[in-house]
Amino acid sequence: MLKATFCFPRDFRWGTATSSHQVEGNNTNNDWWAWEQQPGRIAYEDRSGRACNWWEDAERDLNQAAALGTNAHRLSIEWSRVEPRPGIFDRNVLDRYRQILQALHERSIEPMVTLHHFSNPLWLAETGGWAQETVVNAFERYVRKVVEHLGDLVPLWITINEPMVYVTRAYLAVGRSFPPGKNSPRLAAQVVRHMLMAHAAAYHAIHELRSNGQVGIARAVRVFKPPRPRSLLDNWVTQKLSAVYNDAFNQALITGKLRRPLGRGRLRGLAHTFDFFGLNYRTLERVGFGPRRAIQLLAQRLSIPGAEASVNDSGDTDPQGLLEAIKLATALKRPIYITRSGIPDEDDHQRPRFLLTHLRRVWAAIQFNIPIMGYYYWSLIDSFEWNQGWRERYGLIDLDVASQDRKLRRSGELYGRICRSGCIDWETVAEYTPELLDQMFPG
C-alpha cells in the first residue's frame, strides 16, 4: 500500500460557510420568518427563533473556526436588517456586520460575503418580490449601501446564492417549499430574468465602488447521469435536464442572452459579469426515461415527459459527481470556489468519509490544472435548514438549539487536521476512516 500524501496549494482557501437567516436568529423582518409562522410550512413545525445566536455572538463560533485552522469563511448579509424599510438603512446593523467581518480578519480568516441567500425583506415580498422588475433597482440600492460601508473588508462577493434553486422552490415547487409558495412558470421566468438583471447591476456597482473586489455568483450545479448508460432515451433526458438547469443560466452569464426555457432576448450589461464561479454541489442524480411515469424532478417543473429520477443507490452523496460538476464549471473559464459542499449527518458517522472522498476529488481536479481556489464546507455549525427546520444537521459543530451549547464533532476535528496541514495523508485516513485506505491509497 502506497503511503502517498495529497497536498493542496499553499494559498488554498480552507473554509466553512453559513447564511444570515440560518444562524443569526430573530430575523423577524423577512419573508422566511413570516413563512415559518404558518402551520405546515416547516418540518415538525420548527422555527428559526434564536437560531445560532450569531447576531449577538458570532465571535464564539469564529473562535472555533480559527482553532480548526480554517483561513476562509463564507457568510451572508441579511437584507431585511440592513434596509428594514424601502430606502431606510440601519447604521447600527451595518456596524454590527463590520464587527463580524473585522472579527474574521483578526482571526486570519478571509471573508466571502453573499448578498442574497434566499431571504427577502417583508416590504419587498409584500410588493411582489423578485417577480417585479422594480426589485433590480432595489437590490442595487441595497448592494451599494453595503459595499460603501463594508467593502474595504471584503475581497470576495457573491451576488446571489443558487438563483435556480430559489426559483424552482419558490415559484415552481411541488409543495411550495419556499416563500412565496407560487407554482407559476410565467412568474418563474420573470424571476430568473430579474435575478440576472440584479446580478449584473450588483456586479457593476461593486466594481465601481471597490475596483479590487472580486464578484461571482454561487450556483447549484446538478450532475445528471443515466441509470442505463446505453439507453438513448435515458441519455436524452439527462442532456435535456443539464441544458435546462446548468447550461442555459451559465450561458446567459457569458453571452448576456437568455434562451428557453429561461426566456428570450439579450440583457444589457449581463455578459461576462463574474470574476469567479461559486460551485455548490449536493449529489449526483440518476435520471432515466419512464414512458409510464412523469415526475417533477426534485421540486423542479421541467418539460421532460416520463422522466424518472433517483439519488444514487445508497441515498448518500456521490463524490464522483463533484468531480463531474467541476468539469462542467471549467467551461466558464473562471477561477472556481467550491462554495457549498456538505452532508446532513446528526450522528457524524458519514461525514468523515464524505470529507475525505470529496476533498480527494478536489485534489484530483487541481492536478489537471483546474483553477479551484478554495473549499467551503457547509456548514460550520448546525443551522436552521429552511423548510427542513432543525432536523438536518450539517455542522462540524453540534448545536443544542434550546441551550445553545456547542460541541465539536469528530468530523470537525478531522477537517481541522486537514486545514492545518493542507494535506490528506495516510495516517489521517487510517485514524478517521480506515475502511477508505485501499480506495484512497491503492497499491
pLDDT per residue as tens, the chain (443 positions) = 456 799 999 999 999 999 999 999 999 999 999 999 999 999 999 999 999 999 999 999 999 999 999 999 999 999 999 999 999 999 999 999 999 999 999 999 999 999 999 999 999 999 999 999 999 999 999 999 999 999 999 999 999 999 999 998 999 876 579 999 999 989 999 999 999 999 999 999 999 999 999 999 999 999 988 888 888 888 888 888 888 888 889 999 999 999 877 888 899 999 999 999 999 999 888 888 765 443 333 323 333 333 343 334 333 578 999 999 999 999 999 999 999 999 999 999 999 999 999 999 999 999 999 999 999 999 999 999 999 999 999 999 999 999 999 999 999 999 999 999 999 999 999 999 999 999 999 87
Rounded to whole angstroms, how far apart are CA atoms 242 and 227? 15
Question: What is the pLDDT at residue 230?
Answer: 87
Closest CA to 201 of 258, 252, 136, 275: 136
CATH number of the domain enclosing 99: 3.20.20.80
Residue 298: predicted pLDDT: 30
- 43: domain range? 5-229+242-282+318-440
Taking the C-alpha atoms of residue 171 and residue 165, their distance in angstroms, rounded to an integer, is 10
3-class SS at 265?
Answer: strand
Q: Model-level pTM?
A: 0.94
Grid coordinates 411582489 are at which residue? 128
287 found inside a domain: no
Enter the DSSP assignment of 244. I
Query: Is 306 within a domain?
Result: no
**Measured CA angle at 198 (ends 194, 203), to 5 deg:** 150
Question: Quick check: is 234 in a domain?
Answer: no
Query: What radius of gyration do the chain's Cα atoms show?
Result: 21
| 8 A C-beta contact, residue 154 and residue 213 | yes
Please report the DSSP string for 195-230 in residue order: HHHHHHHHHHHHHHH-TT-EEEEEEE--EEE-SSTT
Under 8 Å between Cβ of 440 and 356: yes
- In this structure, what C-alpha cell is assigned to residue 342? 456538505
Please indicate, yes or no, if residue 374 is contained in any of the structural domains. yes
- Largest Cα–Cα separation, the chain: 64
Give the number of other Cβ atoms within 10 Å of residue 11's Cβ.
Answer: 9
* Residue-level pLDDT at 286: 82
pLDDT at 2: 53
Residue 12 lies in a domain: yes
Q: Which residues pair with 408 in a beta bridge?
A: 397
CA distance 205 to 277: 18
Task: Answer whether residue 313 is part of any domain.
Answer: no
Closest CA to 78 of 46, 122, 34: 122
Nearest to residue 161, comparing CAs of 210, 128, 112?
A: 112
Going through 109-176 in order, the beta strands assigned E by DSSP cover 110-114, 156-161
> Rounded distance, CA 76 to CA 93, Å?
13
Q: For residues 256 and 196, is the Cβ–Cβ distance under 8 A? A: no
pLDDT score at 234: 86
For 192, the grid coordinates are 430568473
Q: Count structural domains, the chain.
A: 1
pLDDT at 141 (0 to 100):
98
**330 falls within a domain:** yes
Q: Is residue 136 part of a domain?
A: yes
